[in-house]
């Protein structure tokens, strides 16, 4: 069974790092870098996990998260939110919008793997 992640991130170095880490762990990693149509990308791909950056061109990760959580098909989709801003207020906003997990940048390879494995354990 193929496990698929949709990484919604606009920083090239972060995309490359996460893609490398997770593909080595057996994930198929799809990427998208625009907030404007990110929710539509989730709808079309239906990934097992979404990694969502907070600050994206066109639309914030918080807005995308709220939109997805408002749809029954994505109410339980595991979503890991990434942010360079690790203030308590940011975490509270993500939690109130329904995030599954929250991680600040920079992160270690092991932190990323542990977070994704916790959201979608191997069956």
The token duo for 15 is 């995309």
Q: How much is the pLDDT for 37?
A: 97
More confident residue, 59 or 86: 59
Mean pLDDT score of the chain, rounded to an integer?
94
CATH number at residue 99: 3.40.50.2300
* Least confident among 3-12, 65-74, 79-88, 101-110: 79-88
Tell me what pLDDT residue 85 has.
77
pTM for the full predicted model: 0.95
Which pLDDT belongs to residue 122? Answer: 73
Cβ partners under 8 Å of residue 12, min gap 6: none
Distance CA 51, CA 120 (A): 12
| CA–CA dist 66, 29 (Å, integer) | 23
pLDDT of res. 8? 98
As for how many domains the chain has, the answer is 1
Reported as a single tens digit per residue, the pLDDT across 25-61 is: 999 999 999 999 999 999 999 999 999 999 999 999 9
Predicted pLDDT of residue 1: 59
Cα distances (Å, whole numbers) of residue 50 to 41, 47, 72, 88: 11, 7, 16, 22
pLDDT of residue 50: 98
């Amino acid at each position: 069974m193929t496990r698929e992640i949709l990484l919604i991130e606009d920083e090239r170095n972060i995309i490359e790092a996460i893609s490398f880490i997770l593909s080595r762990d057996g994930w198929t990693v799809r990427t998208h870098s625009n907030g404007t149509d990110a929710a539509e990308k989730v709808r079309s791909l239906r990934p097992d996990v979404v990694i969502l950056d907070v600050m994206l061109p066109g639309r914030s990760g918080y807005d995308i998260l709220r939109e997805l959580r408002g749809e029954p098909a994505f109410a339980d989709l595991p979503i890991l939110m990434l942010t360079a801003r690790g203030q308590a207020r940011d975490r509270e906003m993500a939690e109130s919008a329904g995030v599954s997990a929250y991680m600040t940048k920079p992160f270690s390879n092991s932190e990323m793997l542990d977070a994704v494995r916790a959201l979608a354990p191997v069956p």
